[in-house]
Structure 1
Amino acid sequence: MRRSAPAAKPVRSDGQATRTLILEATRRRLCEGGYANLSVRDIARDAGVNHALIGYHFRGKQQLVLAVLDEANERLLKRQSRMYEAEASTSQKWQQACAFYEDDLKSGFVRLLMELMGASFHDAELRAGFVPRMQAWHELVESGVNAFIDESGLDLPVSGRAIAAWVAWFWFGMEAGMTLGVAEEHGHQREALAAVGTLLRLVETKAAGKPTARVRRRST
């Protein structure tokens, strides 16, 4: 007696629901297997859609992965903007940003970001879409730095945009290192994050006219 073939996964064809399924499947594939191993047919199978529908909704692999990035980026940029606008000290906002970062590591967003950054080095079309999206994060950091300088009344010999560049590129470098698996004992990423928080609290204390707490220098 012949065994019947397993039932095929139902194919979805309704517009927005199909698009959402495709984006979710693409994100999972990116985070688990990376950009280099991304297959439209695998995504279609995971999403339960005809692979031709991916071409209908997205013009190529680059547009597909950028749509995945946009879905997360928009939500996270709004999250960061709300944090900067909140009634809290800059050191408290920095602490919150560090907590957000831990969430983004667990969710796979940092891995997604690093996969697309790496792929952008040799894919000009992807790079043309990726760079402006990352610049939006840089601009958000710069606005936060300038607000901190104004509120603290600091008279600095360097510009806010230079400090923002230090912060933004530090984050990108830290994300790359942690995605590559550089352990804390070698990269000291979380120690560096905590150190920035300490420095911010010292500046806030001085700006408020309070006695500055002496920070003990850690031995190397």
Structure 2
Amino acid sequence: MARAAAKAVEAKPETKSMLLEAAKQVLHQNGLSGLSTRDVALSAGVPLSQIHYHFGSKQGMVLALFEYMNDQLLDRQNALFSDPLLKLSEQWDRACDYLEDDLKSGYVRVLQELIAAGFADQTVAKVIRAGIAGWVDLIAGLARKAEREFGPLGPFAAEEVAALIANAFIGAESLYLLGLEKKGPPVRRSLRRIGDLIRVAEGQKAKR
């Protein structure tokens, strides 16, 4: 009877999504170090065996959670940058607001810890490279939009601007998690200042 019930759970297509949503909740409550497979299964209301069935291991679950959250956040960013009612500077401001949300949700910590794990584990590295590449591609599209709107981006190609911005955010996140901002350097405020530069360019364009 128990085996039949377990197979019924396995057959439900929404079980994996339930587990990932439960993992997000446990992550938010307990952090990555407290993200236990048992707590995730309990939160989802399914047997612990379902973690192994869908993800193979705790590492598999964490990587699947990263991809799940990353896809959701990329969808959010794509919607933001395609909003015709927002100026480019306003989109940048909103992106900085989203960084605050991502720090609170635990996504940033997951990303940073998996980056570190990827130095020694090529399975992890492959997943994280793909995730970051999605962000770089998105930012490159935004840089090309800025290029069309304001003209050449100095000596930089759109892809080079995207590489710099992606690294600025990842680096800022790392320094924030290390607590450096408490010691003085205004990590997040510096990112927001780029929005002010965009506003200057918008103002100059309006005067032409």
TM over 0.5: yes
Give structure 2 stretches of 5+ with no counterpart. Answer: none
Aligned with residue 70 of structure 2, among 61, 73, 85: 73
Please give the TM-score of this superposition, normalised by the length of structure 2.
0.82
Aligned-pair identity in percent equals: 33
Tell me by how many angstroms 1:185 deviates: 4.9
Aligned with residue 48 of structure 2, among 48, 51, 68: 51
Equivalent-residue separation in structure 2 for 1:106 and 1:41 (angstroms): 23
Q: Which amino acid aligns with 2:146?
A: F
Give structure 1 stretches of 5+ with no counterpart. Answer: 1-10, 211-220
Task: Tell me, yes or no, if structure 1 residue 95 matches structure 2 residue 78.
Answer: no
Aligned with residue 40 of structure 1, among 32, 37, 40: 37
Bigger-Rg structure (1/2): 1
Tell me by how many angstroms 1:76 deviates: 1.4
RMSD: 2.5
> Retained in 2: the 8 A contact 1:152–1:207?
yes
Residues 58 and 184 of structure 1: is their aligned pair in 2 closer, same or farther, counting only changes over 3 Å? same
Q: Which amino acid aligns with 2:147?
A: I
Equivalent-residue separation in structure 2 for 1:146 and 1:78 (angstroms): 19
Count of residues in correspondence between the two structures: 199
Residues 195 and 185 of structure 1: is their aligned pair in 2 closer, same or farther, counting only changes over 3 Å? farther
| SS at 2:184 equivalent | helix
Corresponding position of 1:83: 80
> Retained in 2: the 8 A contact 1:120–1:130?
yes
Equivalent-residue separation in structure 2 for 1:195 and 1:209 (angstroms): 22
Corresponding position of 1:19: 16
Aligned with residue 61 of structure 2, among 64, 67, 73: 64
Structure richer in helix, relative to its length: 2
